[in-house]
């Protein structure tokens, strides 16, 4: 099974070297016009997406799978800074992993 844009490339331009993708200048995935297609790596595709403003930020509050919010982050940092609570205790209280609590306290997560 081959996607239509890859087939269009194969028919009009020949083989696709191993490790390269067929990308779209037009940002229209169903497009099969050879002049709209170019070869690139996965990294090229991600850079192209970001350059064209299609990358979505999914950190912190923008992450639809987040378990906590900014208020909870502040509470975790305050509680840990007080010295009264261990990371393990905070992880249990907020139903997070200890590693995540550590990353929050060190400002590696939720910066």
pLDDT tens-digit map of 4-41: 999 999 999 999 999 999 999 998 989 999 999 999 99
pLDDT tens digits for range 43-57: 999 999 888 878 776
Whole-angstrom distance, CA of residue 82 vs CA of residue 107: 16
Q: Where are the alpha helices (DSSP H) in 14-67?
A: 42-51
Q: How far is CA 54 from CA 57, 64, 82, in A?
A: 10, 17, 42
What pTM did the predictor assign?
Answer: 0.53
């Amino acid at each position: 099974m081959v996607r239509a844009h890859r087939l269009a490339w194969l028919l009009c331009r020949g083989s696709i070297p191993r490790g390269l993708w067929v990308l779209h200048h037009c940002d229209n995935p169903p497009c099969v016009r050879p002049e709209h297609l170019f070869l690139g790596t996965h990294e090229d595709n991600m850079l192209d997406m970001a350059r064209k403003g299609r990358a979505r930020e999914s950190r912190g509050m923008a992450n639809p799978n987040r378990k906590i919010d900014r208020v909870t982050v502040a509470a975790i940092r305050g509680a840990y800074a007080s010295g009264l609570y261990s990371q393990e205790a905070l992880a249990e209280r907020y139903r997070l992993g200890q590693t995540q609590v550590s990353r929050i306290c060190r400002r590696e997560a939720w910066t």
